[in-house]
Amino acid sequence: MGYVTGNTIKELREKKGFTQKQLALILGVSDKAISKWETGKGLPDVGIITELAASLGVSLAELLTGEYTENKNRSGNMKKVSFYVCPVCGNVIQAAGNGSYSCCGILLPELEAEETDQLHGMNVENVDGEYYISMQHEMSKSHYISFLAYVTANYVELIKLYPEQDVEGRFAKRGHGFLYAYCNRHGLHKKVV
């Protein structure tokens, strides 16, 4: 991860509708300092960088990478859930809308689900008011299903899986929604239930 660039500061400042003087007042620096940062003739001190990110409405990781997203999901419908997976440690992040998330120093892209009726070989059975999910899928350290998830309009349940486990899980039926399976090699798959 690099350090913040002048272009990023200028772009974010303008997006917020701040003048250099207004941003300077918020941060307690001179407008000349802001001008120097934006033109590449100076850099904000590491002690002020967190404050700078907050005043510009972005995370520290977003400010440092220059990659930021705006969460446009205001409805709160959980069916619009987003998943992010760290390629280094396997951490799974689930969010109620898109956003900007980082793990292990990497800005994570939102996973795009491929809709399929087959769902990567997923078997779905109705057992005692639950969905019983099973898959005949390789579960080696290099090719495995990382998680299963069940999402309805107001509910998300996720089961984390690990190599050398069987791919199976139970979800209490809570209405219409989606079942997800994430394969570390083939990505996110989604099935309507």
pLDDT tens digits, one per residue of 136-192: 888 999 899 999 999 988 889 999 999 989 999 999 998 888 999 999 888 898 888
Q: Are residues 49 and 93 in the same domain?
A: no
CA distances from 11 to 32, 111, 130 (A): 17, 26, 49
Tokens 């941060």, residue located: 27
- Of the CA atoms within 13 Å of residue 192, those in its CB half-sphere come to 1
Distance CA 18, CA 69 (A): 19
Which residues share a beta bridge with 94?
Answer: 83
Q: Are residues 101 and 19 in the same domain?
A: no
Tokens 């990497």, residue located: 106
In this structure, what CATH number is given to the domain that contains residue 56? 1.10.260.40
Query: Does any domain span residue 59?
Result: yes
Which tens digits make up the pLDDT trace of 82-128?
A: 899 988 888 999 988 667 888 888 888 888 888 765 656 788 899 99
- Which residue range forms the structural domain that includes residue 94? 78-192
Of 35, 65, 95, at which residue does a domain stop?
65
Q: Are residues 152 and 61 in the same domain?
A: no
Q: Bigger pLDDT: 79 or 183?
A: 183
For the chain, counts of helices (H) and of strands (E): 5, 12
Query: Can you give the pTM of this predicted structure?
Result: 0.61
Q: Are residues 129 and 159 in the same domain?
A: yes
Distance CA 33, CA 42 (A): 8
| Number of folded domains that form the chain | 2
In this structure, what CATH number is given to the domain that contains residue 93? 2.60.40.730
